[in-house]
Copies of this chain bind each other. A is one copy, B any other.
Amino acid sequence: MTAGNGRTATGDTVAKVVRQWQTVHPDLDTGPMEIIGRVNRCAALLQQAEDAPLRRAGLARPEFDVLGTLRRTGHELTPSEIARETFSSGAAVTKRLKLLTERGLVERRGDARDRRVAHVRLTDAGRDLVDAILPEQLAYERAVLSGVDADRQHDLAALLGELLIQLEGRLGAPRV
């Protein structure tokens, strides 16, 4: 079937899967797979292998996301705001903040008026860490993407943005 050399002779993994489905169910419209399947596969590959600079700093991606969120907004955030911003559950944020606090990367402060809420901010060490890692991480990502030429990267980014808007409107805010 295949050329027999190491790589898939024709296209990517998803293309092969689609071809198999076509053989079994020739009348199936497999169009969605070619997008959704590829998005999932890309994300899996990226998440699995792509965070080398982060791991070197002893951080997992979700933890770094918390730090990054604090850094890029530039001000204190409450745990709920962080949860919303990082798309994760409150419970997960609680755990991450505990960890990051123990490592001295973030600090918390109670609200004077409303004692239910906490305010979280980066420590100097936390800010320095983000500023040190982020360029490395971006350089790493740039290397990973370097096989796709600049024009296509641009097109891809634009199309993904369009898709994301649809998904966010459709799945992220189903209630209006």
Binding site for B on A (CB under 8 A): 3, 5-8, 11-15, 17, 20-21, 23-25, 28-36, 38-50, 71-74, 87, 131, 134-135, 138, 141-142, 144-145, 147-148, 152-153, 155-157, 159-174, 176
Contact in complex: B163, A159 (CB < 8 Å) = no
Distance of A18 from chain B, by nearest CB (Å): 9
Using A36-B50, A36-B145 as known contacts, say yes or no to A159 and B165 having CB atoms under 8 A apart. no
Contact in complex: A42, B164 (CB < 8 Å) = yes
Question: From DSSP, what is the main secondary structure of chain A's interface residues?
Answer: helix
Contact in complex: A24, B71 (CB < 8 Å) = yes
Using A12-B161, A165-B12 as known contacts, say yes or no to A170 and B156 having CB atoms under 8 A apart. no
Contact in complex: B145, A32 (CB < 8 Å) = yes
7 residue pairs from A and B, CB less than 8 Å apart: A8-B168, A24-B71, A31-B138, A33-B141, A45-B172, A48-B171, A148-B159
